[in-house]
Amino acid sequence: MFSGVHVKICGFTREEDVAAAIAAGVWAVGFVCWPASPRAVTPDRLRALTADVPEDVRRVAVMVDATLENARRVRDESNISVVQLHGNEDPLQFLSLGLDVIKAVSLDSDAAVDRAAALPEEVIVLVDAHDPARRGGTGAHADWVRASALAACRPIILAGGLRADNIRQAIDQVGPWGVDVSSGVESSPGIKDAALISSLMKHAQ
């Protein structure tokens, strides 16, 4: 892997893009299960997109204000291994699914840093830009200063506006355990560009 930094690419809608990311060496591939997103996939598409992903690559279902019942159904009907929560969910409840749990947070205040630091260590914290309407994939940056403070307390995944031309700066400044990229490797929402993926991975080393 790339210097210990785990790279997740999110928002896939096409099998060929998933294959390109796997060939480039990503840690995880993400699929948006929120109908309001321009990158949303149906249950049938999620099943098809995750079917052939190797077991050593994490398969992440991204959900907003998910219920435990809905997340369980997604787990049972596809090959996901991680649920990523972008709403007001209690992440502890989702640990009962036997999946890894990622909780997205936006660090819009120092108090938000403290709340994220206090989350149980079993939960993976993802720091994204503050956008209560679109819930990620916007190309906007997270607060790198607060993210760095949180990364000093616990491992985090940094998201928000990351691309090949700023990924190295983000890693050096914040010190994240992992990074998460969506729009930064796209030609349009949900359509990934293999050359941009390859460039991102090279700069993340």
Please write down the HEC assignment for all residues of 83-138.
EEECCCCCHHHHHHHCCEEEEEECCCCHHHHHHHHCCCCCEEEEECCCCCCCCCCC
Give the CA-trace dihedral at 84, 93, 81, 85, to 10 degrees.
-10
- What pLDDT is stored for residue 1 in this prediction? 36
Token pair listed for 191: 């359509």
- What pLDDT is stored for residue 131 in this prediction? 63
What residue spans define the domains of the chain? Answer: 6-203
Q: Which residues of the chain have pLDDT under 70?
A: 1-3, 130-139
- What pLDDT is stored for residue 71 in this prediction? 97
Q: Are 90 and 115 in contact (CB under 8 A)?
A: no
Would you tell me how many other CB atoms lie within 10 Å of the CB of residue 80?
26
As annotated, the active-site residues are 10, 128
- What pLDDT is stored for residue 138 in this prediction? 56
What letter does residue 43 receive in the DSSP assignment? H
Q: Are 137 and 163 in contact (CB under 8 A)?
A: no
CA 5 to CA 47: how far, in whole Å? 28
Q: How far is CA 191 from its chain centroid?
A: 16
> Which positions ≥6 away from 68 have C-beta within 8 Å?
93, 94, 96, 97
- CATH number for 6-203 (one of 3.40.50.620, 3.20.20.70, 2.102.10.10, 3.40.30.10): it is 3.20.20.70
- What pLDDT is stored for residue 141 in this prediction? 87
- What pLDDT is stored for residue 133 in this prediction? 47
Using one digit for the tens of pLDDT, what is the confidence trace for 135-167? 445 567 899 999 999 999 999 999 999 999 999
- What pLDDT is stored for residue 139 in this prediction? 62
Strands (E), the chain: 6-10, 28-32, 58-63, 82-85, 100-105, 123-127, 156-158, 178-181, 186-188, 191-192
